[in-house]
């Protein structure tokens, strides 16, 4: 029996729970500790664990490098896009009350909507940056 | 009681930092740095900073340790002994520490609700978070709405670091490899930057 | 007695300064690049501790609003340090990428072995 059987079985069992925990931390960021950064790091760490245990080609088959390079600027675009929307309503940059006329929500719920969208942007950028950095380091020792 | 837990954790962290200074095996240094981050996350939890504790545990003890270990797989694992005596850095460190300790005598009382840091803007955010946007976690509402511009700057910093690491470390696709082969054939790359097989090919070509 | 009370209150600050100074010593005195980066992250973490302990309110709890609790710790330092932690790990990743490239070009990561090689190159 190879020595890493325990590690491989446990990491295969844990990976879906890690991603689900990242989603939980992200969505409960307004009611408890959490938010975009913690969720992004946990999701990135899940993919990195899979890459450590099963090899870099296995991790790159579930999250290809092209997809990662696409996701890194997408989060910044989501964040900056939410800020620029308020320019069209003659308000300051990142003023979430401009989202009220766009979606027809009241003042408080427009702020909550702004917070949710912005945190999704943070999650996408942080998770994909962690995975991209890991791919960079792990791919260097290959040849 | 809280203060006793705090003191024990901080003393353990001071001991670990001395061990990091003295240890020469880099693998042990990296693992000790991971333990240090976990203890720091526990101290943050005792000091009521729950968001910060979660971030420090996942980032410091998770991602940092993984990045250090993956770099240690590429470089050597033992630190060489230094040939200079560390007298001047020790003197600089002790003088800096002394001046900072002298400066802490006049800081406000620890844990007071009336200190200038806690009495003005912090209390205002605590009062206005529920009426303004109905979000109970005040840290999230300050991070994403009241101080959203700082968070935007932070996301751009993470993006810049990702782009810079990709520029430094990405192995080329076909076009980059063809360009490199071209430059090697024309003799434009100095000898200490060629890989081993490129050097062997160059020597074979020079011999023929 | 007054001195003892003063020392108990300031113990937090003194350990923070000790950690800060030891991180600074590692960055300045050691020549190995990975150890310098570990010292830098030690230094950064001790600065975070300084800020968070300034925001603590004795008798308060975590700044998550709930019924029946009146005293909360100050949320503003938490926000600043959250940003600072993520910026710190971004800097660390970039520093490690530079260390990998330096190792590929010079073959070593000790500062004292690189300086003569650098003079030869130039």
Percentage of the residues of chain B whose pLDDT score is greater than 70: 93
Predicted pLDDT of residue A38: 93
Q: Which residue of C has its CA nearest to B114?
A: C57
- Rounded to two decimals, the ipTM of the complex is 0.92
Neighbours of A42 (CB within 10 A): 26
Task: Judge whether B64 is closer than 8 Å to chain C, CB to CB.
Answer: yes
- What DSSP string runs through chain A? --TTHHHHHHHHHHHHHHHHHHHHHHHTTTTSS--HHHHHHHHHHHHHHHHHHH-HHHHHHHS-HHHHHHHHHHHHHHHHHHHHHGGGGT--TT-GGGHHHHHT--HHHHHHHHHHHHHHHHHHHHHHHHHHHHHHHHHHT--
Q: What is the mean pLDDT of residues C50-69?
A: 87
Do B71 and C100 meet the contact criterion of CB atoms below 8 Å apart?
yes
Exposed/middle/buried for residue C26 (C-beta within 10 Å: 0-12, 13-18, 19+): buried
Residue with the two structure tokens 């981050």:
B37
Q: Is the pTM higher than 0.90?
A: no
Predicted pLDDT of residue B199: 75
Report the candidate in A89, A51, C101, C86 with the shortest Cα–Cα distance to residue B158: C86
Quick one: CA dihedral B113, B116, B118, B123, positive or negative?
positive
* Coil, strand or helix at B52: helix
Predicted pLDDT of residue A43: 94
Is residue B174 scored above 70 in pLDDT? no
The low-confidence residues of chain A, meaning pLDDT below 50, are none
Predicted pLDDT of residue C5: 62
Contacts of A31 in chain C (CB under 8 A): 64
Neighbours of C95 (CB within 10 A): 18
Q: Which residue of B has its CA nearest to C20?
A: B97
Q: Which segment of A86-90, B186-190, C34-38 scores lowest on mean pLDDT?
A: B186-190
Task: Judge whether A18 is closer than 8 Å to chain B, CB to CB.
Answer: no
Q: How far apart are CA C58 and CA C71, in angstroms?
A: 9
Interface residue of B76, B152, B177 to substitute, partner A, most A CBs within 10 Å = B152
Predicted pLDDT of residue B175: 58
Express each pLDDT in B80-96 by its tens digit: 777 778 889 899 999 99
Express each pLDDT in C7-26 by its tens digit: 666 788 889 999 999 999 99
B143 contacts A134? CB cut-off 8 A:
no
């Amino acid at each position: 029996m190879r020595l890493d059987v325990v590690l491989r079985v446990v990491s295969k069992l844990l990976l879906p729970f890690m991603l689900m925990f990242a989603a939980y931390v992200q969505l409960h960021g307004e009611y408890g500790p959490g938010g975009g950064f913690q969720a992004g790091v946990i999701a990135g760490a899940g993919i990195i664990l899979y890459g450590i245990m099963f090899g870099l080609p296995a991790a790159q088959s579930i999250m290809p490098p092209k997809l990662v390079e696409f996701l890194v600027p997408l989060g910044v675009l989501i964040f900056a896009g939410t800020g620029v929307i308020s320019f069209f309503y003659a308000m300051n940059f990142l003023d979430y009350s401009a989202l009220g006329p766009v979606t027809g929500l009241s003042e408080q719920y427009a702020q909550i909507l702004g917070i949710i969208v912005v945190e999704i942007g943070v999650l996408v950028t942080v998770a994909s940056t962690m995975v991209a950095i890991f791919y960079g380091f792990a791919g260097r020792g290959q040849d | 009681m809280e203060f006793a837990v705090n003191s024990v954790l901080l003393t353990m962290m001071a001991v670990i930092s001395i061990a990091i200074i003295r240890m020469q095996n880099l693998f042990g240094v990296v693992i000790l740095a991971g333990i240090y981050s976990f203890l720091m996350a526990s101290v943050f939890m005792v000091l009521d900073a729950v968001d910060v504790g979660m971030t420090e545990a996942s980032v410091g003890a998770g991602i940092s340790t993984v990045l250090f270990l993956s770099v240690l797989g590429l470089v050597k694992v033992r630190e060489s002994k230094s040939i200079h005596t560390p007298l001047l850095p020790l003197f600089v460190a002790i003088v800096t520490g002394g001046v900072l300790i002298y400066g802490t005598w006049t800081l406000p009382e620890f844990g007071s609700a009336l200190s200038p840091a806690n009495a003005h803007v912090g209390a205002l955010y605590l009062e206005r978070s529920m009426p303004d946007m109905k979000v109970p976690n005040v840290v999230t509402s300050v991070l994403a709405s009241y101080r959203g511009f700082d968070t935007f700057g932070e996301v751009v910093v993470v993006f810049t670091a990702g782009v810079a690491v990709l520029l430094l470390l990405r192995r080329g696709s076909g076009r980059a490899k063809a360009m490199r082969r071209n430059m090697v054939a024309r003799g434009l790359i100095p000898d200490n930057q060629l890989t081993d097989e490129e050097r062997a090919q160059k020597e074979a070509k020079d011999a023929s | 007695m007054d001195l003892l009370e003063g020392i108990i209150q300031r113990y937090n600050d003194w350990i923070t300064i000790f950690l800060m100074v030891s991180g600074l010593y590692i960055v300045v005195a050691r020549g190995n690049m990975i150890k310098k980066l570990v010292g830098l992250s030690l230094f950064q973490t001790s600065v975070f501790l300084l800020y968070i302990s300034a925001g603590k309110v004795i008798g308060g709890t975590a700044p998550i609003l709930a019924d029946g609790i009146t005293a909360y710790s100050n949320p503003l330092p938490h926000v600043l340090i959250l940003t600072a932690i993520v910026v710190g790990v971004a800097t660390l990743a970039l520093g490690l990428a530079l260390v990998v490239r330096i190792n590929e070009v010079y073959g070593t990561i000790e500062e004292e072995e690189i300086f003569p090689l650098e003079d030869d190159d130039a």
